[in-house]
Amino acid sequence: MTARQELETFFAKYDAGVVRTARAALGRLRKQFPGATQLVYDNYNALVVGFSPDERPSNAIVSIALYPRWVTLFFLKGARLPDPHKLLEGSGKTVRGIRLERVEMMDEPAVRELIEATTEGSGMDAGKGKLVIQSISKVQRPRKPARA
* pLDDT (mean) for 3-10: 94
pLDDT tens digits for range 61-89:
999 999 999 999 999 999 999 999 999 99
Name the percent of the chain lying above pLDDT 70. 97
Split at pLDDT 50, 70, 90, the class of 141 is confident
Residue ranges making up the domain that contains 24: 3-136
Question: Which carries the bigger pLDDT value, residue 142 or residue 115?
Answer: 115
Q: Which of 124, 100, 127 is nearest to 26 (CA)?
A: 100
CA angle 106, 48, 85 (to 5 degrees): 30
Any domain includes 113: yes
Asked if the structure places residue 145 within a domain, the reply is no
Rounded Cα gap, residues 90 and 48, in angstroms: 17
Number of domains the chain contains: 1
**Cα–Cα dist 143/42, whole Å:** 11
pLDDT in tens, 9-44: 999 999 999 999 999 999 999 999 999 999 999 999
Confidence of residue 5 (pLDDT cuts 50, 70, 90): very high
pLDDT, averaged across the chain: 92
Specify if 125 maps to a domain: yes
